[in-house]
Amino acid sequence: MEGKQHKRPALTVDGVLVEDEKILLIKRGNTPYRGMYALPGGFVDYGERVEDAVIREMEEETGLKTGISRLLGVYSDPSRDPRGHTVSVVFVLNFKYGSLSAGDDAAEASWFPLDDLPELAFDHAAIVDDFLRSE
């Protein structure tokens, strides 16, 4: 393997936070999918555990402190992100404390009824469907 260069997918995380039959979504402030809603999440920093990354991203994008309830799944379809091959580790989270406020690259953070969701970016509609089936 020495001397060979291998292309590698980027590693991301997403968080599913549901309270009172509502799910927390962010409106994307950046491309791709600028202006569309998505689950809070983002890229894992080098040297960072995915568990720490999802907690960090949730707080940066929504202002909320959360904890991990469980792993929902790993989503790795090479076409899931138009920027290139990304693999997302998705966690179900629980609310600890904080006040909802959009930050980082989220233009807005809002709660949506699980039975009345906007169109979602990336493969996030499939992720939400998987969550609903897992409950």
Q: Which amino acid is at 1?
A: M
**CA 1 to chain CA mean position, Å:** 33
Given a contact cutoff of 8 angstroms between Cβ atoms, the answer to whether 16 and 92 are in contact is yes
57 is catalytic: no
Annotated catalytic residue: which of 51, 59, 60, 108?
Answer: 108
Type and span of the H or E element at 56: helix 50-62
Locate 72 and state its tokens: 């929902």
Long-range contacts for 74-82 (Cβ within 8 Å, ≥24 apart)? 75/14, 75/123, 75/126, 75/127, 76/9, 77/123, 78/9, 80/122, 80/123, 81/10, 81/12, 81/32, 81/122, 82/32
Residues tagged active-site: 108
